[in-house]
Structure 1
Amino acid sequence: MVLGKVKSIHYLRGIAALMVVFYHLKATLNDVYAQKDLGDMLFNSGAFGVDLFFIISGFIICYSTERKESFMPLKYLLRRFFRIYPLLFVSLIVTYLFISNQGGLSFLLRSAIPLNTNYDAGSPFFGYNLLGPAWTLSYEIAFYALFLLSFVLSHRFRWLICSGLILLFVLGVQYYYTGGVTLFAYNSNNFATGTIWHAPLTFLSSPLFINFIYGLVAYKLILLIQSITLSERIKRTLTLFSLFVFLISSLVILSVQVYGHGPLLWGAWCFALVVSALIFEMNNELRDIKPLSFLGDVSYSLYLTHAILIEIFRKNPEVFTLFNNQKGFSQVIYLVTLSLFVAYFVHHLIEKPFISVGKMLISKIGTKRNHKHEKTKLEGALGTDQ
């Protein structure tokens, strides 16, 4: 099976990154116009992009490992490392040198693992990271590790094993220590305090991990639907229903009818977004929309670098002579444009070259063996970039 891009997922990933940028610019619009909290009104829901990222990660990681390979664990580790870490390292160093050197070199190294700042501070942020947006990468890396263990145990049931491991930590740890369970991502749980197990158990019990399960379930759900022979009438009905669900989910999120990270809030509605988008793409060929394709391409670069740019702007407004005295929408447009410009160059100068290095190393690891794997109707309809 040849893996390519799932356009709907690629577009959603770009939108998620852009919405996070708008969220971090909401203060730029506050106290400028007659509506004093205009920034909060327009952009407060933008942080939902984090939950959407996690669900997309669950789907992509499961689908991109559909083909069983020789030396698969090593190749998987190389792909993940060169996809995540080079840009993270560069972004952290720039942040440390030009924005904040609090905590010294040890704090920089801790953030590069990446570990969050304080596991006593409560879920889901745990004190964030030296680089603000990188607090989410701690969840990503932990999920990658659990998924690696899962497909080593069973490639066929990797999605189910990984889901079980996440639930074991999230529900099992909570119940063992407290006799109860919460699925609310915002909590002050602290487990095994004073021991070496405190940080990992407290972190892995965060309900935010369940968002990854949503992505894994989306993957299996799409495979299930693809395996069923549907009449054209039912396909048309599914298409209309998927559009309706996508529209309602978008309105609920953007109109702040729900607010907050986690499986019971943004996570649930982002799951509906992802599944409805996938069902629509399954039955309809999506056009190549260049602006959305561009956003998808630079999404990771945009997500990590925009916070650096915004902080530099706020700390050194004299450097940005064109708009340092401007307020409101003009400043938002300026910073978004500049963030996209920086993300484009970072994507081409750092992200893509290191991904190519990873692919080159992978190509040198043994020879691919032919493995039998389940044939699904997903072939040719969906795919993902590595």
Structure 2
Amino acid sequence: MQKVIKHQKLNLLQVFRGLAAIMVILAHCDLIFNQNLQKDFFGKIFNFGGSGVDFFFVLSGFIILYIHQSDIGNRSKLKSFFIKRFTRIYPIYWVVLTLKLSASLFFAYDADTGKRNILEILKAFILFPQSREILSSSFLGVSWTLTFEIFFYIIFGLLIGLKPKLSFSIVSIWLLLTFTHFIGIFNLPKDGLMLNFIFNEHNLEFFLGCVAAYIVSKHKIPQEMTLICLGAFLYTLGAINYYYKVVEISPVISFGIPSMLLVVGSTSLEMRKHVHVNEVLIYIGNASYSIYLMHGFAINNITKFILKVAPGITQNSLILNILGIMIGGMGLIFGCAVYSYIEKPLISTLKPKLVTT
């Protein structure tokens, strides 16, 4: 009989998930304001919110290794791993994508969707890498990040399904090539979509999350608050630099490394002592995936509706910015509703015994 390893529930990670989702909402408020209203949202100060994606990647890397490190080299765990991971990503994504395609085809919601061929639609459904321009104009703009998530699951699946000596050799070579590409030792052709995807710098952020999980699992960290403060400080510097564009820095450095420090510090703190976390914040973290998938649809349509019924509102910047916060809040609420009434029941119906993370 196999030993069941129980992992401590880390509520602060859920809070970080919710925070990352909110940052993305704020960044997309500016993007959608520019598209629909030709106005900036709070002077673009929230544009750094796109770094919520970097935070998500680090969190994902941490959670996968933290939960599945004992499965490495155990091929019997491979099927269970993929079922759990794919169940977490695909069902609600397929629902949202189908709704978007239906709206585009039957209500002319997005005219570009009708221009796509069967292969491009199939790629969108299975999250196979394709042009971000195509995804944004015809499918779900945020789905490009999910392709990296699926790729990371496949890479980690190698560690589970193959003998450690072989799997670690393959993954080490891939990481080495990715890192050398990141630091500019070798360059890939700009039109090489697949190669640029496989060796993309974002993959290093999953690795940073895995490093964080390894550190927390193997070592006691005595200075948790120091790491949390340092991570928050460096993340803030990254946000300031993103706004003022003082120097060109990769998001892996400006946001990925600070995210890793925040994760190591917070999880070490929560493992050492009880940390009270507000239930609302935990709920937002639980709903973060639905929020991530649905907020753009809500913000885009609410903004278009307001512009139609009150076109003069764009003349008052203060009112427009306050309205933008309200619209962002509506996007958050809409995503939470999708989580409660669609995603959660859907996963419970498909796999009632799976514990999703």
Q: How does 1:192-341 map to 2 (within 5 A)?
A: 198-226=192-220, 235=222, 238-256=223-241, 262-317=251-306, 325=313, 327-341=319-333
What is the identity, as a one-letter code, of the residue corresponding to 1:218?
A: A
**SS across alignment from 2:7:** coil
For residues 318 and 263 of structure 1, do their structure 2 counterparts lie closer, same or farther at Cα, with a shift above 3 Å needed? closer
Distance 1:286 1:156 in 2: 39
Cα offset for 1:133? 0.9
Partner of 1:64: 67
Partner of 1:89: 94
RMSD: 3.5
Distance 1:210 1:155 in 2: 20
Cα offset for 1:153? 2.0
Distance 1:208 1:307 in 2: 22
Note if 1:151 corresponds to 2:163: no
**SS across alignment from 1:271:** helix
Partner of 1:7: 11
Choose the corresponding residue for 1:75, options 57, 74, 80.
80
What is the identity, as a one-letter code, of the residue corresponding to 1:305?
A: M
Partner of 1:138: 147
Deviating more after overlay: 48-57 vs 250-259? 250-259
Deviating more after overlay: 335-344 vs 139-148? 335-344
Partner of 2:178: 170
Question: Where does structure 1 lack aligned partners over 5 or more consecutive residues?
Answer: 31-35, 119-124, 176-180, 363-383
Are the counterparts in 2 of residues 14 and 292 from structure 1 also a CA contact under 8 Å? yes
Distance 2:266 2:52 in 1: 15
Greater relative contact order, per chain length (Cα 8 Å cut-off, separation 6+)? 1
For residues 385 and 73 of structure 1, do their structure 2 counterparts lie closer, same or farther at Cα, with a shift above 3 Å needed? same
**SS across alignment from 2:45:** helix
* TM-score, normalisation: structure 2: 0.79
* TM-score, normalisation: structure 1: 0.73
Cα offset for 1:306? 0.5
For residues 322 and 301 of structure 1, do their structure 2 counterparts lie closer, same or farther at Cα, with a shift above 3 Å needed? farther
What is the identity, as a one-letter code, of the residue corresponding to 1:5?
A: K
Are the counterparts in 2 of residues 170 and 205 from structure 1 also a CA contact under 8 Å? yes
What is the identity, as a one-letter code, of the residue corresponding to 1:190?
A: P
Between the aligned residues of both structures, percent identity stands at: 25
Distance 2:273 2:170 in 1: 31
Cα offset for 1:322? 9.2
Cα offset for 1:354? 3.0
Distance 1:2 1:104 in 2: 46
Distance 1:294 1:285 in 2: 18
Note if 1:23 corresponds to 2:12: no
Note if 1:117 corresponds to 2:130: yes
What is the identity, as a one-letter code, of the residue corresponding to 2:30?
A: K
Are the counterparts in 1 of residues 313 and 320 from structure 2 also a CA contact under 8 Å? no
**SS across alignment from 1:115:** coil
For residues 95 and 317 of structure 1, do their structure 2 counterparts lie closer, same or farther at Cα, with a shift above 3 Å needed? farther
For residues 283 and 4 of structure 1, do their structure 2 counterparts lie closer, same or farther at Cα, with a shift above 3 Å needed? closer
Cα offset for 1:265? 3.0
Distance 2:273 2:40 in 1: 40
Are the counterparts in 1 of residues 66 and 214 from structure 2 also a CA contact under 8 Å? no
Partner of 1:182: 182
What is the identity, as a one-letter code, of the residue corresponding to 1:271?
A: M
Cα offset for 1:183? 3.5
Distance 1:64 1:353 in 2: 23
Distance 2:63 2:123 in 1: 27
Distance 1:168 1:188 in 2: 14
Cα offset for 1:127? 5.7
What is the identity, as a one-letter code, of the residue corresponding to 1:115?
A: F
Are the counterparts in 1 of residues 20 and 52 from structure 2 also a CA contact under 8 Å? yes
Cα offset for 1:244? 2.6
Distance 2:14 2:165 in 1: 25
Are the counterparts in 2 of residues 45 and 259 from structure 1 also a CA contact under 8 Å? no
Are the counterparts in 2 of residues 73 and 148 from structure 1 also a CA contact under 8 Å? yes
Cα offset for 1:188? 8.3
Q: Number of residues paired by the alignment?
A: 329
Pick the structure with more helix per residue. Answer: 2
Question: Where does structure 2 lack aligned partners over 5 or more consecutive residues?
Answer: 104-108
